[in-house]
Amino acid sequence: MRVLLVEDEPDAARMLAKGLRRYAYAVDVAANGEEASYQASVNDYDLLILDVMLPLKDGFSICRELRAAGSAVPVLMLTARDAVEDRIAGLNTGADDYLVKPFDFQELLARVRALLRRGPALRPENFQLADLRLETQSRTVFRGTARIALTNKEYALLEYLARRAGTVVTRGEIAEHVWDETFDPFSNTIEVYVQRLRRKLDEGREPKLIHTRRGMGYVLAVESE
């Protein structure tokens, strides 16, 4: 899941981005309103975390413009303490939820998860395909009774494939939703990660779950090849 974090305060931005990445989110950071609008227009984000007070363009304007352009991306707004008018204004501009500063990181994480569940997220929280099971809250993965240890990135890739299970997911879509803006489209990073995931998930097990569609992408499914 790829998140655009818009926060002009460098320490706060760094801390939040680091925290979110630890939970396997791909995070891009924008430090002003113009940059945020641009990023949101060129990338397909799963969620925006939007500070209200920003240089060049405030969070309300960014949100209003996005909605006017037809974007339905979930927006979590970060408002200043006690600014009741801010919260009301935020919701009026089309934000989905708001959080009052200062907040606890775990609270932010809970809101982020709740907002992502409204989208094309895993519903219910646990995903099952054959003997593969993903528990999204704890980010644990099993095949049968065997727990599969995955890195954050491997888990993020698997969860993205699971959200789209049964449909072919292109490399471009994976790059867009699992990696952040530092992703090099000319690298073979995705192939490498898919191979790793396949080794951990499918090697020595049946049925095989990760399939390559040559020239198209990958699909998570039970099928005979």
Residues within the interface to Ca ion (CB under 5 A) = 8, 51, 53
Q: What are phi and psi of 80, to 5 degrees?
A: -70, 155
Nearer to Ca ion, 53 or 114 (CB): 53
The least distance separating Ca ion from the CB of residue 186, rounded to whole angstroms, comes to 35
Complex with Ca ion: residue 13 or 174, whichever CB lies closer = 13
Would strands 97-100 and 75-79 be described as parallel, antiparallel, or unpaired? parallel
Place of tokens 């979930």: 74
Q: Nearer to Ca ion by C-beta: 83 or 114?
A: 83
- The residue number with the shortest CB distance to Ca ion is 53
Total Cβ atoms within 10 A of residue 172: 12
Using DSSP's 3-state secondary structure scheme, residue 139 falls into coil
Smaller CB separation from Ca ion, 51 or 96: 51
Q: Is the torsion defined by CA of 108, 109, 113, 119 positive or negative? A: positive
How far apart (Å, rounded) are the C-alpha atoms in residues 24 and 197?
15
- State the minimum distance, in angstroms, from the CB of residue 95 to Ca ion: 15
Q: What is the CB neighbour count within 10 angstroms for residue 215?
A: 6
Residue 141 beta carbon to Ca ion: minimum distance, rounded to whole angstroms? 37
User: Is the CB of 24 or the CB of 99 nearer to Ca ion?
Assistant: 99
Rg (CA), the chain: 19
**Distance (Å, rounded) from C-alpha 174 to C-alpha 205?**
25
CB of 7 to Ca ion, least distance (A): 6
Least distance to Ca ion from the beta carbon of 27, Å? 17
